[in-house]
Amino acid sequence: MTSIAPVSDVSGEAIKTGLYTLKNVRHHNYAELTDDSFMAGNTIQYGTAAIPETMLWNVIELDNHNYMIRNDRSALNACSQRYISKGDVVSATPSAYQWIIKESGFKGQYVIFSPSTPDLYWSLRDSNLGTHVTMQPAPTNDSNHWRLQQRESHPRESCESLTLTLNNSPTANTQGTSKGLDVVESQLFGENDPEKYVAFHDAKEVDIMSSGTTISRIVQIKLNFDDIILRIKTTYKLSNATEVSLRHPKKAPMWSPSHSIDFTDDEVLVGAYGRAGGYVYQITFRILNTATGDTRIEGPFGGNPVKGTSFDFRAPGRHIIGFGGRHHNAHLHGLSFIHRPL
C-alpha cells in the first residue's frame, strides 16, 4: 500500500496524463486490479488517505487522444475483448489497449468505453466487494459513470492504514508457497453454493496424496460435454517426475469418446474463456509454446454460447497448473484456475 494525497476531482475537461483513482458514481467503490488480473470494486477504511497501489491507475493520453489505463502496481493495462459483448469483464494485459474517456452529461462524471464498441461502458453492477467491472449499455446510467481523482504519491513508509480484502480475490494456496512458488487460485466461474455443491482443488489434493509434492504442469485435459461441460479429467506432471490423473465429478466415469487436449513438453496453459452460470456452459483454452512463443486455441467446447455470463481468465506472466471448482453428482457446476509464475 502507498499513501496518496488527492490533488483534485477532474471536472469539465479532457483527462490529462497522470495518476488517478477511478471511483464508481453510484456504488462509491474504487476500481481495483485483483490478483487474477481482473478489475473489481473495492473500498478503503473511512477517513484515511491511504490508497493501495492496486487501486491507482496511470491514465496515459495517446497521440490519437485515446488512453491507456495502466495499474500502478503491476504495470498491466486495463483491457477487454477486441470486439466487446455486453457483460464482458474488464481485465488486464501487458499489451497496449486503448480506451476512450469522455465526460458524461453530468459534470465530473466520466464514461469509459472501447473505440471498437462505443455503446458499451465500464460498469459496476452493485456495491459488493469483488464485483467485476463489466461492459454494459446506457451512458446515462450512473453505475456506468466514474469520478477520476488525480493523486500525488508520497513515501510508502508514511502509510499506516488498513485496506479491505476482496471477497473473491484469489488466496495463496498453502501447497507450494513455502517453496516460493506463489501458487494462487482464481475466483470461481459458475455456481459457488457450498450448501449444494462439492468443492475440489487439484493442487491441494496432490499435496494430500503425497506431502510436499507439487504440480509442475498440465500434460492432458479430457472433457465430456454436450450443451454444457459435464466432466473434466486432467493429467498432471508432478515435481517428483511422476504423473497423476484427477477426474471431477469423481463418481461419474468419463464417457467414451471424450475430447482430449494433449500438451507437448514445451506447452503450458495460459488462459481460458467461455460462459458459466449454474453450469460451465462453454470453455476455450489458450495454450502457449514456451519454446516458440506461439499460442494455439483449443475449443470452444460445450454447446451453449448464450447462457450464463462470459468470463475470460488471463494471468500474464503465469501459467495455469491445475483446476478447482464445484460439482454435484454427474455434473460440473463451476471452475477456477490455479496458477503460478512461468
Query: For residue 242, what are the CA distances in angstroms to 139, 175, 232, 274, 308?
Result: 55, 17, 20, 31, 37
d(CA 239, CA 216): 6
Same fold: 2-158 with 174-341: no
Q: What integer pLDDT is reported at residue 173 of this predicted model?
A: 35
Contact 145, 101 (CB under 8 A): no
b/e for 23-43, b at 16 or more Cβ within 10 A? bbbbbebbbbbbbbbbbbbbb
Taking 70 as the pLDDT cut, the residues of the chain under it are 1-12, 153-181, 256-257, 304
Q: Smallest Cα–Cα separation from 321: which of 144, 201, 156?
A: 201
Per-residue pLDDT tens over the stretch 250-277:
877 777 667 999 999 999 999 999 999 8
What CATH number has the domain spanning 174-341? Answer: 2.100.10.30
Residue 111 DSSP SS3: strand
pLDDT score for 32: 95
Residue pointed to by grid coordinates 490508497: 51
Partners of 23 in the β-ladder: 30, 147
Do β-strands 39-42 and 30-33 pair in parallel, antiparallel, or remain unpaired?
Answer: antiparallel
Task: Give the per-residue pLDDT at 161.
Answer: 24
Architecture of domain 2-158: Trefoil (2.80)
Between the alpha carbon of residue 339 and those of residues 36, 126, 146, 187, 291, the distances in Å are 9, 28, 32, 12, 19
pLDDT at 153: 53
Pairwise CA distance, residues 330 & 105, whole Å = 51
pLDDT of residue 235: 96
pLDDT in tens, 192-219: 787 888 999 999 999 888 778 899 999 9
Contact criterion met (CB below 8 Å) for 153 and 159 = no
What is this structure's pTM? 0.52
Ordered by start, the domain boundaries in the chain are 2-158, 174-341
pLDDT computed for residue 12 by the predictor = 60
